[in-house]
Structure 1
Amino acid sequence: MLPLSARRSAVRPSRLATAAATIGIAVALGTTGCGAGQISQTANQLPAVNGANVNIDALQLRDVQILYPEKDAPTVFGNGGPFELAFVVANADQTAYYRLKEIKPEKGSVEFVEGSDSAARVIAPGQALSSGTPVGSVRDSEKTVTAELTGAGDTVAAGLTTDLTFVFEKRESNGSWVPAGETTVQTPVDAGADLERQDVARNAEPTFYNQHHGEGDHGESEGGASEAGHEEGGGH
């Protein structure tokens, strides 16, 4: 049997080797984690906007949303509009010209109140076309239009999305316009600037909201709950 000093000498190198291996693994994992974090942060970054983002060919649709009505919102939602649309379409191609032909909603129709002339909706190479300005956003586009959705029925409601299909054309070398494809965007409703906080969950359908929000039924149900609680308390 080895003396105590010899055993300590034999154990010391083993402990040093284990510690060195542990430090090496930790450094390797730390380096890998840092690199992975950097890749995910740069590769998956999206603009800090509330709307939807979609790409089609060289066109980039950004911040697509339905603006919350500034006046008499319950009536506007009940009538299915008119709702102003907000979006930015950027042309990333450096030579091709595109044109926004039309926007097709799930129900109703979209009219270009400003930009009804198709020439006003042409997007030059490296340029952008925008409509509407959401709360807290800044639009810096050379070309602007105003698009309104009407007759949407109950397909538009706060907290839900509705499908808007953007249809585009592309200009050929001879000056003619040909189809350039279309894309359907699941479009949310902008929250607006000053919405009253609702701590009690309710049905998001606009018909339910118009019929029951603020009416006596809600108060009666709360009163009934209080009475029930009082009776239970009396039983104790």
Structure 2
Amino acid sequence: MVPVAALAAGAAIILSGCSAGQVSQTADQVAAINGNTAEAGSIALRNVHIVFPGSGTHTNTAGGQAALALSIINTGETVTDELTGVTTDLGTVKITPADGDKIEIAPSETIVVSTPSAGAETHTTGETVDTEAGTTEAAAIEITGLTQDITPGLTYNVSFNFKENGTVQVEVPVDAGIESPRHESELSKSTTGSAGGH
């Protein structure tokens, strides 16, 4: 009896540790954001996504326009970098800098790229917001003359080119939009008088 009880107690201790540490179900969880992330040297791209069409001019359909939204963070301590271009086979990319004729990212600075008219963040082009890490300025990146429809659920290849940190390619998803209607079928609708039960 004693050896059996000892083995059972030992097995319980071993099995209770199975979900701890790096093999737990939460070890690989990521932040609940719409977009993708990428790094190019000391430049970090966060929440990179194509904005779901809103009430603006962005339709996300062939021949129309789409808007990119993301945050560009310079994690370096001494070197200012510059976004020199964005390329994609989806169409022609137009960059509207926050200030001046180019997007520069100073050390410890975050640049927010958004398009309020397309339903992205509420910053407007040129707005400056103080943050703990530095100054956040809003800019805009639009894709015009779309070569195809852009569909939620798919990702699209976009390259970001930086003067100091080189080029990084990102598989960019489409924001599904907070106003997307919930799909209902006959099976998902509740039926009055149904007995239910499982």
Give the TM-score, by structure 1 length.
Answer: 0.62
CA distance in 2, matches of 1:21, 1:35: 24
Asked if residue 167 in structure 1 is aligned to residue 153 in structure 2, the reply is no
Shift of 1:118: 4.4
Offset of 1:132 from its aligned partner?
1.1
| Count of matched residue pairs | 173
After superposition, residues 7-156 of structure 1 pair within 5 angstroms as 15-36=1-22, 41=26, 44-71=28-55, 76-115=59-98, 117-119=100-102, 121-132=103-114, 142-154=136-148, 156=150
Deviation (angstroms), 1:188: 1.5
**Normalising by structure 2, what TM-score?**
0.73
Which secondary structure state, in structure 1, belongs to the residue aligned with residue 30 of structure 2? coil
List per-residue Cα deviations over 1:160-197 (Å, max 9, x = no partner): 22111111112xxxxxxxxx211111112211232234
Q: Name the amino acid aligned to 1:168.
A: F
Which gives a bigger RCO, structure 1 or 2 (Cα 8 Å, sep 6+)? 2
Question: Whose strand proportion is higher, 1 or 2?
Answer: 2
Which residue is 2:180 aligned to?
A: 195
Give unpaired runs (5+ residues) of structure 1: 1-14, 171-179, 201-236
How far the C-alpha of 1:72 sits from its partner, in A, is 7.6
Shift of 1:199: 5.1
C-alpha distance 61-186 of structure 1, shift in aligned 2 (>3 A): same
Q: Deviation of residue 96 (structure 1)?
A: 2.2
Kindly report which structure 2 residues correspond to 1:219-230, keeping only aligned pairs within 5 A, or say none. none
Determine if contact 1:105/1:163 at 8 Å carries over to the other structure: yes
SS at match of 2:163: strand
Distance in 1, Cα, partners of 2:142 & 2:152? 17
* Structure 1 residue 122 displacement after superposition: 1.2
Write the letter of the residue equivalent to 1:188.
P
Q: 1:181 corresponds to which residue?
A: 166
Alpha carbons of structure 1 residues 33 and 193: separation in structure 2 relative to 1, 3 Å: closer
Runs of 5+ in structure 2 lacking a partner? Answer: 124-130, 186-198
Bigger CA drift: 96-105 or 135-144?
Answer: 135-144
RMSD: 2.9
- Classify 1:195/1:80 alpha carbon distance in 2 versus 1 (closer, same or farther; 3 Å): farther
Q: How far 1:79 moved relative to its partner?
A: 4.0
CA contact (8 A) 1:53 1:62 kept: yes
Structure 1 residues 80 and 115: CA distance shift in structure 2, 3 A: farther
Identity of aligned residues (%): 26
